[in-house]
Amino acid sequence: MSTSVLELFNNATNYGALPKLQTSARSSYRNLIQDGRANTNALIKADGTAGTGQGKQTFAFGSANGSDTLATLKVADMVISQYGLDLVDQAIRQLLEAYNRIVAEMIAQFCDVTGDKTRRYGTSALMSMTESENYGIPFAQTVTSGYTVQFPLQRAIIGLQWNRHYANTATTQEIAMQLEALLVGDARWIQAKILNALFSPTSYGFQDFMTDGEYLLIKALANAESGLQLPVGPQGEIFGATHNHFMYPGSGNGDTLATYTSNAWNATPTTASMILDVQNVINNLLEHTNSPTSTIKLLINRQQEVQFRQLTPTFTPLYDPNVIHSITIDVARGALDVASIADRAIGLFDGAEVWVKPYIPAGYMLAYLEGDVEPALAVRVPNFIKDKGSSIAWQVTLSGGDLRVLSEFEMAPFYAQAAERNLGIGVWNRVNGVAVYLNSTSAYTNPAPFSF
C-alpha cells in the first residue's frame, strides 16, 4: 500500500537495544508497479539449501534475470492480434502470479491470512482464590471464554471489457498501461481497507452477503468498550474497561487520561512532553506482551520527521553513510535512505524503529509490534491456503483472495470482462496496534476515511 504500501518490513530487534535496521531496498507498490522489484528475507537456493535473503530479489514482472512483462508489451507497441494473443495471455498470467504473491507477502505485515469468519478473543473470566480452613468446600467457579470477533468478506471489481474488437484495434502498449492502472487501483483499495481498520476507533456491523447473510460484528483496536475483557497481560495485568489504544498527547498510558501536561504537536509542544507522549504509546503497546524478539515499529508522516529528530537523546538518528560523524555522537546502526524521503527508516526511539511512511496521515502516528506476536488484523479470503513452502520460504498466498481476471474462456484470460478481488479485513489482535492523533490534547479524532 505504499502508494508505497504496506511492506513486509524488517527483522526483529530487542527492545532497548540499538539494532541495525534493515534499511536497504524494501518491497513497496512503487517498486512493484514501476520497477518490478521486491526484496525477500529468506529464499531457497537452486540446490534446495536455504539462502540468506541478503541482496536477493524476486521480480514482480518476470523471472530473476530481470525480464519485465509490462516492459516487453510496451516496447513491442504492436496491435495485440498481430503480436499474438497467446503471448499477451502469457504476460497477463505471469504478471498476476507475481503480483499476487508479492501483495500477499505485503499484507502479511499487518494481517493474518485466514478463512475464518469468527474467532474468540480476550480472556476467560477470572477465578478468585478463597482462604479456607481444613474442611472447607468452596463453591464451583465457572468461566466464559472471551468474546467473538468477526471479519468481513467483500468483493471489489474493475471493468475491463477486453474482446475481439479490442484485440484487433488496441496496441500492446495500451494494454500494458491498462494493466498498470489495474494494479494501482487494486493496491489502493487494499491500502484503504487496512488503514481504515487500523485508524477507526468504531466497531461496526456487517452483513455477510457473500456467504450466509449473517450479521457480523467487526471490532476496532482496543477502544474502551465496557464488558469486553482484553487478554491478561504477561505479568497478570488486568486491563480495565477504559483501556484504549486510540491516544492523543496527554492521554496517559491507555488506562488513565490527562496524567501529565502536554501540548498538541501542531501547537507549541516541548521536547520533554513529546518524548513522554511517545514513551506512553510504546508502553501501551508493550504491556500486552513479553516477546523479546518482536520489533516495535513507529510509523509517522513526513510532517513529524523534523519533530522526532528533536527528541534527543531518546531518539537516535540514522545518518547518510557518505558522511563521517564524530565518535562522540550516538548513531543508529544502519544507513539513512537519502533517495526515498517519504518512505524510509529514520532512526530509533527507545529501541523502537521509527519509519516515515507516505500512507500515514499528517498529524497521526501508528505503533505496532512485528515478529513473534499475533498481528493486529486478519484478512479473510474465500478459500484459505497458507503455503510455507514453494520456491520462496515463508511464502503466503491468498488463494481465493487473489486478484484475477474474469473471462468467458478460462484458458484465455485476455478475453476478460472484469478483474476482481474477494477479501475482507478486520481487527484480530486488538492490542497489537496503537493509533495516535497528535494535534489534540482532548480527544482522539479518526482521520477522514481512506479512499481508493
Q: How far apart are CA 72 and CA 30, in angstroms?
A: 19
Q: How many CB atoms lie within 10 A of CB 193?
A: 24
User: What is the rounded CA–CA span in Å between residue 101 and residue 385?
Assistant: 12
What pLDDT score does 273 carry? 92
Instruction: Give domain status of residue 140, yes or no.
Output: no
Mean pLDDT of 195-205: 94
Can you tell me the distance from the alpha carbon of 221 to that of 203, in angstroms, rounded to the nearest whole number? 9
Determine contact, residues 368/110, Cβ cutoff 8 Å. Answer: yes
Q: How many whole angstroms separate alpha carbon 175 and alpha carbon 115?
A: 33
Amino acid at 202: T
SS3 at position 187? helix
8 Å CB contact between 187 and 5? yes
Residue 12 pLDDT exceeds 90: no
What pLDDT shows up at residue 422?
92
- C-alpha distance from residue 168 to each of 81, 93, 129, 235, 418 (Å): 5, 20, 80, 69, 19
Give the confidence band of 235 by pLDDT, cuts at 50, 70, 90.
confident
Strand 145-150, strand 118-124: pairing: antiparallel
The model's confidence at residue 198, banded by pLDDT at 50, 70 and 90, is very high
User: In this structure, what C-alpha cell is assigned to residue 341?
Assistant: 524521503
Instruction: Report if residue 158 sits inside a domain.
Output: yes
Residue 102 resides in a domain:
yes
Q: Please give the Cα distance from 110 to 397 (Å, whole number).
A: 15
**Conformational region of residue 278, where left means phi above 0, alpha means psi within -120 to 50, and beta covers everything else:** alpha
Residue 348, in any domain of the structure: yes
Model pLDDT for residues 391-420, shown as the tens digit of each residue: 343 445 677 888 988 887 766 667 888 999
Question: Is the residue at 107 inside a domain?
Answer: yes
User: Of 396, 402, 452, whose CA–CA distance to 422 is shortest?
Assistant: 402
H-type alpha helices, 77-123: 80-83, 85-107
The 8-class DSSP code of residue 283 comes to H
Q: How many residues does the chain have?
A: 452
Mean pLDDT of all residues in 329-354: 79
Q: Is 258 left (phi over 0), alpha (psi -120 to 50) or beta?
A: left
DSSP bridge pairs for 114: 380
Measured between alpha carbons, how far is residue 444 from residues 246, 264, 287, 340, 363 in Å? 6, 12, 21, 30, 11
285 φ, ψ (degrees, to nearest 5): -80, -45
Q: Examine residue 6 and state whether it is found in any structural domain, yes or no.
A: no
Note down the domain range covering 225.
29-124+145-437
Q: Is residue 443 part of a domain?
A: no
What grid cell was written down for 212?
Answer: 450466509
CB 446 within 8 A of CB 204: no
- Report in angstroms the alpha-carbon separations of 367 from 114, 228, 279, 418: 23, 22, 11, 37
Which pLDDT belongs to residue 147? 85
Residue corresponding to grid cell 456467504: 211
E strand residue ranges, 70-182: 111-114, 118-124, 145-150, 154-159
Q: What is the number of other CB atoms lying within 10 angstroms of the CB of residue 75?
A: 12
Picking from 54, 27, 24, the residue whose alpha carbon sits closest to that of residue 318 is 24
Position 141 scores a pLDDT of: 65
Q: What is the pLDDT of residue 63?
A: 32
**What SS3 state is found at 264?**
coil
Q: Which residue has the cell 476478460?
A: 416
Structurally, how many domains does the chain consist of?
Answer: 1
Would 444 be classed as within a structural domain?
no
Q: What is the pTM of this model?
A: 0.78
Average the pLDDT over 130-158 and give the result: 80
